[in-house]
């Protein structure tokens, strides 16, 4: 997979892309990152990328020309057609399902805005997806684009090492993930559930499924509205209510 970031602040990406799973993914050639300063594509001698909004108002608006030229340059040299993502508060709320969808693409291109907003011609004529990571406003699109990239890259084949890891994640199954424990079995009087020490994998799997359902019912009951509950899971929910 190839992931491009169009940004005015390339240095923001250095620490994130060069650490942990994202670093390992690059070393395995599962992903290739390009961080591009779209100021380099500005066509005036001062390299201006923003201007005052027509009609007046606060703040500055990103001009279409630098971003159009940057996207067109990337498309021209790319072997694949990119999925162009605009990270903005007006976009659809990001979900694990969307991450799984994007992980199937060969090329993602993130447009990271700053200032008051974008010239809307960027939104209308360049972008394939508008995505928001939540109902709040940040100073720019760099952090959201890195969050989305991280969630996508970890789903790529062989990146995590254990093929079951992304399948068992919260939201991937439709439920929140079950609790986890490790050594020691008894820490300051707080003990690991006996079933996890039993060695009986059938019982362990059932315990994990039940605890996943319990945690979802307690913390995110809205996720159960469209979840296809089995007969056994419906019985567990009745037990929880009691």
Q: What is the pLDDT of residues 36-70, one digit of tens each?
A: 999 999 998 899 999 999 998 888 999 999 999 99
Q: What is the mean pLDDT of the chain?
A: 94
Helix axes 142-153, 20-27, angle to 10 degrees: 60
Is this prediction's pTM over 0.95? Answer: no
Position 32 pLDDT exceeds 90: yes
Instruction: Report residue 118: phi and psi, to 5°.
Output: -105, 150
Domains of the chain, first to last: 2-153 (3.40.1280.10), 186-241 (1.10.1270.20)
The reply to whether 120 sits in an annotated binding site is no
For the ranges 56-65, 166-175, 189-198, which has the lowest average pLDDT? 166-175
The reply to whether 17 sits in an annotated binding site is no
d(CA 21, CA 222): 31
- Catalytic residues, by residue number, are 89, 116, 154, 169
The reply to whether 134 sits in an annotated binding site is yes
For residue 144, the surrounding DSSP H or E stretch is helix 142-153
For the ranges 119-128, 155-164, 221-230, which has the lowest average pLDDT? 155-164
Average pLDDT over residues 90-106: 96
Position 167 pLDDT exceeds 80: no
Instruction: Tell me what pLDDT residue 162 has.
Output: 64
The reply to whether 59 sits in an annotated binding site is no
State the sign of the Cα–Cα–Cα–Cα dihedral 217, 220, 222, 226: negative
Helix-then-strand count for the chain, H and E: 8, 10
The reply to whether 129 sits in an annotated binding site is no
What DSSP character marks residue 114? B
CB 26 within 8 Å of CB 156? no
Confidence of residue 115 (pLDDT cuts 50, 70, 90): confident
Average pLDDT over residues 233-239: 97
């Amino acid at each position: 997979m190839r992931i491009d970031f169009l940004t005015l602040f390339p240095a923001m990406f250095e620490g994130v892309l060069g650490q942990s799973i994202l670093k390992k993914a690059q070393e395995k050639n599962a992903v290739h990152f390009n961080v591009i300063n779209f100021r380099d594509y500005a066509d005036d001698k001062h390299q201006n990328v923003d201007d005052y909004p027509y009609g007046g108002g606060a703040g500055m608006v990103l001009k279409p020309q630098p971003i159009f030229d940057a996207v067109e340059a990337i498309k021209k040299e790319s072997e694949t057609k990119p999925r162009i993502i605009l990270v903005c508060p007006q976009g659809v709320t990001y979900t694990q399902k969307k991450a799984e969808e994007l992980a199937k693409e060969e090329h993602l291109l993130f447009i990271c805005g700053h200032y008051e907003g974008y010239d809307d011609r960027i939104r209308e004529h360049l972008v394939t997806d508008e995505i928001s990571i939540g109902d709040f406003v940040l100073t720019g699109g760099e952090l959201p684009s890195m969050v989305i990239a991280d969630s996508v890259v970890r789903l790529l084949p062989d990146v995590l090492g254990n093929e079951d890891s992304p399948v068992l994640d919260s939201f991937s199954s439709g439920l929140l993930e079950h609790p986890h424990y490790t050594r020691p079995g008894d820490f300051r009087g707080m003990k690991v559930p006996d079933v996890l020490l039993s060695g009986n994998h059938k019982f362990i799997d059932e315990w994990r499924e039940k605890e996943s359902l319990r945690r979802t019912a307690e913390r995110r009951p809205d996720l159960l509205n469209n979840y296809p509950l089995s007969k056994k899971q419906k019985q567990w929910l009745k037990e929880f209510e009691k």
